[in-house]
């Protein structure tokens, strides 16, 4: 089983709403296609069910550091569809999402 550490941060929209976004730096992502010094947006999915279907999973709505349990190498991939090139999106089918710790106070004050 592979493991990936991600950071979830809350972002404010111009219209007053907010959303959470998960990211990870390339050097921590177990893929050869990624660049070490680039930050990638992480999109979560459920593991495949008995029919081979995987669904989108919500990003945790609590800012902090998380660890993802990834069943196999086939469950993490760089989105290389033509319309997604250059957007640096990694898809992960994870069996567990574990909260590790909150973001440091200085980061929360700057966001």
From the list 69, 68, 80, 86, the residue with the least C-alpha distance to 23 is: 68
**Could you report the per-residue pLDDT of 42-85, keeping only the tens digit for each?**
999 999 999 999 999 999 999 999 999 999 999 999 999 999 99
Range of the domain at 83: 2-110
> What is the predicted pLDDT for the residue at 111?
52
Q: How far is C-alpha 100 from the chain's CA centre?
A: 14
What whole-number distance in Å separates Cα of residue 17 and Cα of residue 102?
22
pLDDT band at 31 (very low <50, low <70, confident <90, very high): very high
> What is the predicted pLDDT for the residue at 109?
53
> Which whole number is the average pLDDT over 100-106?
88
Stated pTM of the model: 0.88
Judged by phi (left if over 0) then psi (alpha if -120 to 50, else beta), residue 3 lies in beta
Q: Structural domain tally of the chain?
A: 1
- Joined together, the tokens standing for residue 47 give 């593991």
């Amino acid at each position: 089983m592979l493991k990936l550490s991600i950071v979830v941060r809350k972002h404010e929209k111009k219209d007053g709403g907010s959303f959470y976004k998960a990211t990870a730096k390339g050097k921590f992502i177990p893929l050869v296609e990624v660049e070490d010094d680039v930050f990638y947006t992480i999109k979560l999915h459920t593991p495949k069910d008995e029919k081979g279907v995987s669904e989108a999973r919500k990003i945790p709505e609590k800012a902090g550091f998380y660890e993802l349990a990834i069943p196999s190498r086939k469950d993490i991939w760089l989105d290389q569809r033509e319309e997604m090139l250059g957007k640096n999106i990694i898809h992960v089918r994870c069996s567990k999402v574990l909260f590790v710790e909150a973001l440091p106070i200085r980061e929360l004050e700057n966001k």
